[in-house]
Amino acid sequence: MDLVTTKRIFRAGFLDFWRNGFVSLAAILMMIFTLFTIGMAMFTGVILQTTLQEFRDKADMNVYFTTDAPEERIVEVQASLKALPEVAEVSYVSREEALAAFRERHQNNQLILQALEALGDNPLGAVLTVKAKDLSQYDSIANFLNGQGALQGGQTSVIDKINYYDAAHRVAIDRLGAVTDSARWIGLIIILIFVAATIAISLNTMRLAIYSSRDEISIMRLVGAGQAYIRAPFIVEGVLVGLSASLVTLLLFYPLTWWLGSATQDFFGGINVFYYYLSNFPLFFGVLVGSGVLLGAVASYLAVRRYLTI
């Protein structure tokens, strides 16, 4: 295709776009709705992921030590846990810190405080709080701690209790994992359904936009114009529709995310959609502009093909 033909194609595409102003506007509005849905799906995905991760991060496992456990032995266990690839974080609470936290929790219960004073000694042992990288990995971490003979060098175990083996705690972790996994898949399916529905509506809108030019296409076909030459201006027109809609959608997201930013930060685990939008603007620009241009071009290509047969 030579330069003159290319110029004619682009000129015809621009002219059709401006000449059919009302039809083009309707197609742009429908494309904006489609691209807005795609953008909202991106925001919903990251909010859902962040919220579910927030719930998963609240799960942990406590390792309680005997009251006579030497600190060096506890530090040894802590180091061995940190070396495990399944472990994300291990925090150490000394006997004194555990006692202070216990007193604070029960500061309004004089009976418990009096009983504690009557003991005369700290009845609490040190605690290691373990967070796994994934909920499914707590079982292997607990089993590792349960068979700690190799680390202890044949000495008596200093671990008094691992709360993962409590039935209620274990059931809670397993249920949390099942619920968050199900929520992730359900959310993904719902997002895909909405995106697919809006894409289908957008394709039909472009088909209706080209329907008004069906007679023009038939005449060009009758006088011997090639299929590629007939189709190209409409593809240019579809690209212009998609490009215009994507730029408008990007502009709309700026005030919308600014307005919703503080609300999402307070409600969805600390993610501010406004800052997320600004920091990931190249990604949104690429996805929305690419989707708009691709949808416009593909929809025009498919719509014109129907009228090329004579």
Shared domain check, 98 and 138:
yes
Q: Does residue 234 sit within a domain?
A: yes
In the chain, which stretches have pLDDT less than 50? Answer: 149-153
pLDDT (tens digit, 9 = 90+) per residue, 135-183?
Answer: 778 888 888 887 754 344 455 677 888 887 776 666 777 777 777 777 7
DSSP assigned state of 163:
G
Shared domain check, 231 and 123:
no
What pLDDT is attached to residue 224?
Answer: 65
Q: Does residue 285 sit within a domain?
A: yes
User: Pick from 157, 190, 218: which residue ends a domain?
Assistant: 157
Shared domain check, 211 and 149:
no
Could you tell me which of 201, 176, 162 has the C-alpha nearest to residue 38?
Answer: 201
Q: Which domain holds residue 149?
A: 67-157
Q: Does residue 104 sit within a domain?
A: yes
User: Pick from 157, 186, 205: which residue ends a domain?
Assistant: 157
| CATH number of 137's domain | 3.30.70.3040
What pLDDT is attached to residue 102?
Answer: 76
Shared domain check, 74 and 12:
no
pTM, 2 dp: 0.67
Shared domain check, 46 and 20:
yes
Q: Does residue 162 sit within a domain?
A: no
Shared domain check, 105 and 75:
yes
What pLDDT is attached to residue 248?
Answer: 93
Q: Does residue 164 sit within a domain?
A: no
Shared domain check, 246 and 108:
no
Q: Does residue 62 sit within a domain?
A: no
- What total of structural domains would you count in the chain? 2
List of long-range contacts for 40-48, beta carbons under 8 Å, 24+ apart = 41/191, 41/194, 41/195, 42/284, 42/287, 43/257, 43/273, 43/276, 43/277, 44/187, 44/191, 45/187, 45/188, 45/191, 46/271, 46/276, 47/264, 47/268, 47/271, 47/273, 48/183, 48/184, 48/187
Q: What are the distances in angstroms from CA 287 to CA 26, 48, 202?
A: 22, 19, 16
Q: Does residue 98 sit within a domain?
A: yes
What pLDDT is attached to residue 153?
Answer: 47
Q: Does residue 17 sit within a domain?
A: yes
Shared domain check, 23 and 138:
no
Could you tell me which of 203, 106, 124, 202 has the C-alpha nearest to residue 161?
Answer: 124
